[in-house]
Amino acid sequence: MGVAKFTRPVHLEEGMALEGFSSGQPFVDGWLATRATKARQRGSAVVYVSHRAGTDVRAEPPAGFYTLSSASIDRDLIGGGWLKRNAPSEVPVILLGVLGVDSRYQGSGLGRMLLRDASARAVAIAGDIGAKALVVDPVDEEAAAFYARNGFERIPGLGRMFVQLKAAGS
């Protein structure tokens, strides 16, 4: 197979195939298979999916996906630093809940493309509702290294990582 092209991430819609997605991470695969549709229906997370260009989204699982939701972090749990400084007692953040790339497409740049898309959406959302950071709970140290290479820092006192959300033009 040549270099794969991927669609811009879109909302997971009813009827889109999920079966067959395999990232090699049991938590990520299980979340997509069992919780993504429920999260969409309940409004607890928005699931964005990207497919290999030209695939039938009703027959083929996504090449990758991520989720966004609103969240907050108790300021007293943060060990210090920018995220805690001048923040309310519940620090408003946007949670990048799960990000996964099917093993067939790992190493293609899709993960970085999904993360850029999530970050851009988070910046836009933060400009409308107010949020200090995009936060992620890395599933393992390999994932933490991926996020660190893409500008995320550890939150002092927590296992989470964050990147500051700056409005476009600031």
Encode pLDDT of 48-84 as tens digits.
999 999 999 999 999 999 999 999 999 999 988 889 9
Q: pTM to 2 decimals?
A: 0.93
Residue 10 has pLDDT above 90, yes or no: yes
Concatenated DSSP letters of 25-45: -HHHHHHHHHTHHHHHHHTS-
Set 48, 66, 105, 147: catalytic member: 147
Residue 32 has pLDDT above 90, yes or no: yes
pLDDT range class, residue 46, cuts 50, 70, 90: very high
pLDDT range class, residue 106, cuts 50, 70, 90: very high
In percent, the amount of the chain with pLDDT more than 70 equals: 96
Which run of H or E residues covers position 129? helix 110-129
Calpha distance 99→143 (Å, rounded): 9
Calpha distance 134→125 (Å, rounded): 11
Give catalytic status of residue 147 as yes or no: yes
- pLDDT for 156: 85
Calpha distance 60→94 (Å, rounded): 29
CATH 3.40.50.1220 at 10-164, yes or no: no
- Each domain of the chain, given as residue ranges in start order, spans 10-164
